[in-house]
Structure 1
Amino acid sequence: MDIQADRQGVRNSYLLLMETPQIIPENGVIKNFSGYRRVFTWNDDLVDGEKFIKINFPNFIKLAPSGGFSDRDRFCVLIASNKSLAIRDSRDLYVERVKAIRWFEKNAPHDFDLYGAGWNLPKSTVGLLGKANRHIWNKLGKIHKVVFFPSYKGRIDSKCQVLSRAKFSICYENVRDLPGYITEKIFDCFISGCVPVYWGASNINEYIPADCFIDRRAFESMEDLYRFLKAMTEGEFVGYQQRISNFLASDAAYPFSSEFFAETIVSSIVRDLERAE
């Protein structure tokens, strides 16, 4: 839902605050929340258990396959849209995605595939100039095809179809170091048995065991990361898969489920209605 100008100040309204302020700047203006009875958000800096209620991005939780390298003919993939933040921010991970893509295209093109929308155009950049540039190239591309990202394999109907064939996935959130900002991206990898290279929430280890994913922050360079991935044995890979399955089967994963998402919203509203009687 996020901030909507026509709903601000409407008494007894509830706000589902899911997008980051770097995408929707209005979501970062505290005074915008004053007109809402309660705000459901992932943002740990806001959560107080009263007005601001903790909620995570919902996921269909199922146990991950643990078949090792079998049937995984893709080494590493990245699935995301070619977009940009609405405002400039030093924590921008759209930029880091492009850096990872370019590194693979230059140094290990045979080990990397790119999927998602918009990679037939130049990399998206912040501001009106960036939008104008993409609009022009979108028109020109219909006349003369230009390859901007050689690793690009096109759009996909299902992330799982690709991730279930990949050993690893570059799994970056849109913005880094936002406490509690854990989207569906890492869970898409988990339920597909793909080991994610994760970069995002500063407190990810408070929610997901550190041995279930590869922390991009632990590597000084893409080259160091690549060497680590290439050196991983099938036994070590299966270990990740088994730990992921254990996590998904545990109570710790439940707050990220669709059921918990619905229960949190419904129970909060019902309690408010009961108190009003």
Structure 2
Amino acid sequence: MYIGFYNFYKHYNRNRMFRDPSSAIGDDLMYPFVHLGRRLEELGHKVATLDMDDPGRFDAAVFLDHPTPLNRYYRALRRRDNCKLYLVLFENPGNRPDNYWPSNHKPFEKIFTWDTRLGGSGKYVLMKIPIKIPEPHPFDPTEKIKFSVTIASQKYMSHPAELYTERVRAIRWMEQNHPDEFDLYGTLWNRWLFKGRLSRLNLLLFKIYEKFPNLGRSNAFPSWRGTVKSKHQVLRQYRFSFCYENAAFPGYFTEKMFDCWFAGCVPVYLGAPDIAKLAPTSTFIDRRQFASYQELYKYLKGMSQNEYENYLAAIYDWLKSPAIQAYGPEAFTAMILQHVVGQRHGMQPNQSQTTSQTGTSLQ
């Protein structure tokens, strides 16, 4: 079987998503697709991004977030009767409202989503956003030489569930009240951006800033320390991280808290309202439990070393538990194998699936 993939973020196409696990917004963020590509080839299938071959050659196509109406691969494949289409929804409705328009779902055989509001029946398949899960090692509390940090990009959206504004509120509070105990890392914090309803114009600003690097410079965030090459190497130095999702939707649980856990940094979390169903509450501090940032700071600052190490122990136990594998690349691969390829994970493809086809090898 020859399966094509297409990422809405074009940087990951040209087969890069199957070869390079790195990402500008997270450590090894694309590893689940590297793993998926290898596993499909091991089972005798072929895999490539849609821009690497003639769309007429593919038996199935998987789109990562909904393609634009002008996407030539999507348009070509929709005209074919013998190529099934699948959609994986990663972005939330605030960033990509078109991901959730019912009319956009009609052409797809199956839609894989974290959004529990869509249910898990019919064409909708509930999934966890996949993440590479490394082998856990006991944490060293003596590494925690700094107090608190945020690693994120400066972005904005106009949606009732957005948390970009709350993230900035946390940053501002720490800058104004405890500037020596907080550091900010990430992209675009040194740039001027539109906010609120005008935030959609930022896509245009990003392109302008790429072409003219010196435009839009700003020193509005004095806690900003620059970008990072490795979140892990930065986070491991801090006791706490303000870890806010981009928006608060049920089931929307991304790599952000995992980054903290892997580095042994206790997250202060705000995001999925059903987070208690998604991760052990002993592994993070729930921002919603505090009436103000002053109250939260008092709790963090007054935490005993024994209590802090209890958080680290709970994180370590969670990382080595079988339950966390539901977020791993194996679970994501098994889902694709079952619903796209039509075989259970680990089974060999049948004769019709191993027919020789022209494709792009990942070797």
Q: Taking structure 1 as the reference length, what is the TM-score of the superposition?
A: 0.89
The answer as to 2:287 corresponding to 1:224 is: no
Deviates more, 1:29-38 or 1:2-11: 2-11
Letter in 1 for 2:256: K
Query: Are the aligned partners of 1:66 and 1:238 in contact in 2 as well (CA < 8 Å)?
Result: no
Distance 1:19 1:38, change over 3 A: same
Q: Is 1:21 matched with 2:84?
A: no
CA contact (8 A) 1:66 1:193 kept: yes
Counterpart amino acid of 1:2? D
Residue 64 of structure 1 and its aligned partner are, at CA, apart by: 5.2
What is the Cα deviation at residue 31 of structure 1? 2.0
In 2, Cα distance between the equivalents of 1:199 and 1:3? Answer: 26
Aligned to 2:140: 67
Cα gap change, 1:36 to 1:24, in 2 (>3 Å):
same
Bigger radius of gyration among the two = 2
Give the aligned residue type for 2:242: I
* Distance verdict in 2 for CA 1:36–1:120, change over 3 Å: same
- What residue is the counterpart of 2:266 in the other structure? 195
Offset of residue 90 of structure 1: 2.0
Instruction: Show the counterpart of 1:36.
Output: 108
Q: Secondary structure at the residue paired with 2:184?
A: strand
- 1:143 shift after superposition: 7.7
> What is the rounded CA distance, in whole Å, between the counterparts of 1:202 and 1:37 in structure 2?
29
Q: Aligned residue for 1:52? A: 124
Letter in 1 for 2:225: K
Take 2:212 and 2:119, find their aligned partners in 1: how far apart are those partners?
Answer: 47
Residues 64 and 78 (structure 1 numbering): CA distance in 2 closer, same or farther, change over 3 Å?
farther
Distance 1:143 1:46 in 2: 42
**Percent sequence identity over matched residues?**
37
User: What letter is aligned with 1:46?
Assistant: L
CA apart distance, 1:128: 4.3
After superposition, the CA RMSD in angstroms is 2.7
Aligned in 2, Cα 1:94/1:142: closer, same or farther, shift over 3 Å? same
Q: Across the two proteins, how many residue pairs are aligned to each other? A: 272
Residue 93 of structure 1 deviates from its aligned partner by: 0.4
What per-residue deviation string (whole Å, max 9, x for no partner) do you get for residues 86-135 of structure 1? Answer: xx222210000100110000000011000000000235514447639967
Q: Deviations over 1:30-58 (max 9, x none)?
A: 22111100011111111324411122221
| Distance verdict in 2 for CA 1:23–1:117, change over 3 Å | same
Q: TM-score, normalised to structure 2's length?
A: 0.69
8 Å Cα contact 2:146-2:181 kept in structure 1: yes
Aligned-partner SS, 2:109: strand
Report the Cα distance in structure 2 between the residues aligned to 1:131 and 1:99, rounded to whole angstroms. 20
Is the contact between residue 192 and residue 216 of structure 2 (CA under 8 Å) also seen in structure 1?
Answer: no
Instruction: Please state if 1:112 is matched with 2:185.
Output: no
Matched, 1:259 2:330: yes
1:91 aligns with 2:161: yes
Equivalent position to 1:204, from 275, 288, 295:
275
1:81 alignment partner in structure 2: 153
| Structure 1 gaps, min length 5 | none
The AA in structure 2 aligned to 1:269 is V
Tell me the equivalent position of 2:224.
152
Separation in structure 1 between the aligned mates of residue 145 and residue 212 of structure 2, nearest angstrom: 35
Alignment-derived partner of residue 162 in structure 1: 234
1:1-20 superposed matches below 5 A:
1-4=64-67, 5=69, 6=71, 7=74, 10=78, 12-20=84-92
Aligned equivalent of 2:245, options 156, 173, 179: 173
1:270 Cα deviation after fit: 2.3
Partners of 1:143 and 1:45 in 2: how far apart? Answer: 42
Check whether the contact 2:242–2:269 (CA below 8 A) recurs between aligned residues: yes
Which residue of 207, 216, 241 maps to 2:312? 241
Q: Which amino acid aligns with 2:321?
A: S
Residue 131 and residue 268 in structure 1: after superposition, are their counterparts in 2 closer, same or farther (change >3 A)? closer
* Ranges in structure 2 where 5+ consecutive residues have no aligned partner: 1-63, 344-348, 354-363
Distance 1:46 1:83, change over 3 A: same
SS of match in other structure, 2:342: helix
Q: Is 2:249 aligned against 1:186? A: no
